[in-house]
Structure 1
Amino acid sequence: MKKKFIIILFCLILSGCSPKFDQTESGIMDDITFELISKNINLNTRVEYNIKLTNNSDYTIIQNNVLFGFINDPEEHGETTNPFRVLATGNRLNIKPGESVELSVSFSPTFYKEFTESEVRIANIYIVGYVDRLKEENRFEFTTSLALQ
């Protein structure tokens, strides 16, 4: 009985010592960066952007989704809208620290025409994913801006 108690106590202590991921403390928002590689804006066919995601964190990004969108200029009452987000393609699993992935975003020019010239100078990049293990406590998400000029 005493051995069983010691083993259970030891297991509880070990489980309490496992480090938990905290995206605010880890700086993951600053450590995952996006860079515009190229753009092709053909208002007759498609609008395409190629973006590089770089994992500068200490964690392996085991799974993630990246969405690309624009924000309309504020209306008179200060409200902004984002009528669409496009899921980037070319993503992959297990992006190790220091690795980069090239992502592509492509959409119809009809969406692009809904925005003014000033609105398409900056894109909003929304990323949601997991680091190290596919567990809710390892989930992160944030939005960042990407200059398109």
Structure 2
Amino acid sequence: MDNRKAFLDTIAFSELGSQLIKISDNGYNVIVGSTPLKPILFSSYADHPRRLVHITANLASTAAGRYQLLARYFDAYKKLLGLPDFSPASQDAIALQQIREGRALDDVDAGRFDIAVGKVRNIWASLPGAGYGQRENKIEILRAQFAAAGGRLA
């Protein structure tokens, strides 16, 4: 489904930014705290890298991969979905499952982009309205990214 791929591409863009995606394995091997000037990448997809990174004095995270998944969530989804590793295919499957659990998959498929984002903003801190006190992208920028990635808006 083109809209699903475009939505996943948009989440990756929101979480990582286009430059970091370009200088990594399409974002799949990025560790939280990476910047285009100082990328932190992992080299094996056998498992989640499980690296705790201190981002600020009050914020530490194990987020990794194209969709910045926390290690504890990877363990649960690996078991739930019967995944063998933290490969790109496994990361995509987890992100789609998270979208499904947020009851946003039908909205993604139908091109109801803003509604879908609203339903999953609690999962990804960079989405508008997430409320985690981190950088959030504007819906207009993400909507344009979705369309540029081949997504069809309703």
Does the pair score TM above 0.5?
no
Higher share in strand: 1
Higher share in helix: 2
Q: TM-score, normalising length from structure 2?
A: 0.23
